[in-house]
Each structure stands twice: as structure tokens, then as C-alpha cells.
Amino acid sequence: MNQNLVLIILLLFSGVMLHAKNSKDVRVNEISKSIYLQAYKSTKHSPKSIYKVTDINIAKKLLAKMVKFGIPKEIIDLPNDPQKMIIKISTKAGKLITKANPDDPIWFVAYYPNENYLSVEGEYPADYGFDLKTGNLEMGSPEDTYISPNGKYIITGAYNGMECYGNHIMISKNGDYKTFYNFLNDVGCYFTDAFWQDNNNFFYSMKIEEENGIKWKYYHVNIK
């Protein structure tokens, strides 16, 4: 019997079905470590190749037409590196995405030229950024984004400053990606390891630190 078919049968009859939030087309199962490892071994893995610019001088040249750097007016406390502060962010086409708020300033963290994604941070310890191609505010960092082999789906998220990454599934529509499913925090708070097996099946693990030691959980996501 085909190895992938055996795996699908095991997935159907093992694990706990976790209720999907806001989509009947997504099923999330908690599975055993052995099934997770079987899925991992039967999948061809390609390492992520991500080019990230953190040097502010290089970034300013690359972002010249999209990001205006400077110190916002009326700001009271300056960060340690004021040259990284941002006044305005626009898409590549010139559409305004956001302007600086003196009460909640933002500054540069990294730029991903291949994805045209700008990573920033603010006063609060949260990670977020901007897709400078479309202005999509729900797209997470390329380092925290998993794209299905055919590019139809993206699973992404960003650290919310507390404990979770706000992971969600997006679907490609009219040249952009739209969110249609949000992971519940207790199920998809973050991914320790993750991979797409094919265009409809995604696997991830969660390493959980508890008082009694470290606990691992494994999950399978199926998109109809």
C-alpha cells in the first residue's frame, strides 16, 4: 500500500479533532509523535532561503521610495538608535500604509528584499511588519511564514508581545492573500517546527515548558 495513503488512514483514525475557528474547511488534529515523524520522513524538505537586511544604511537605500525615516514630531523619549525611526511607510506603488504616531513610535528592524517585507518594532515587545507590495497588514515575517507548494495557502503569524504568534491561514485571491482561518492559542500559539507535506496538509510541533519539564505536542492541519 502507498506510504502516503497509509499515513492518511492513520491520521483519520488517530489524534483528537480540535474544533476549527471560523472555517469549516480546516481540520486540526493532535497526533502522536510517531505519526508526525512518519509524515516528516515521507516529505521532501527544502531549507528556507531568506535574504534579510539589518544594516540601516543599506536598508535606507533599498527602501528610499517606500519608507521615510526620521524622528516624529512631538516625540518625548528617543530610542537608543534614532536613525532607525520611521515617519511614514508606503507600498511600492505609493499607497500610504501608516504614519508615525508620537505616542506609539516604530523603528526599523529588518527588510526582506525578495519578499518586499519590512519588519518593525514599537514601544511594546511585539513583532510586526508590513508587506510593501500590497500593503497587507496580516502577513508575518518571511521567517515565520510557510507557503504551500503550489502557493495557494500561506500559514503565518507574528509575536503578539505576550506569549503567542497569532498564527493564521491565508488563501491567495486576486494577487493577494486573505485570512480565512485563525488558530486557537492553545493549539497553534507558536510552531517549534513545521512543514507542508503537500498542498493541503501541514504539520507542526509545539515545545511546551512546564513546571515538571518539557512537553511536546504534535499537530496535523488538513485544508479541504
The tens-digit pLDDT sequence of the chain (224 residues) is 444 434 443 443 334 444 444 566 899 999 999 999 999 999 998 888 899 999 999 999 999 999 999 988 777 666 677 889 999 999 999 999 988 777 778 889 999 999 999 999 877 656 678 999 988 888 888 998 999 999 999 999 877 666 777 889 999 988 889 999 988 767 778 889 999 999 999 999 998 888 888 999 999 999 98
Q: Are 91 and 132 in contact (CB under 8 A)?
A: yes
Which pLDDT value is given to residue 147?
95
Q: For the chain, which residues make up each domain, given as ranges?
A: 3-223
Which pLDDT value is given to residue 103?
75
Which pLDDT value is given to residue 39?
96
Which pLDDT value is given to residue 190?
83
**Pairing of β 168-173 and β 176-182:** antiparallel
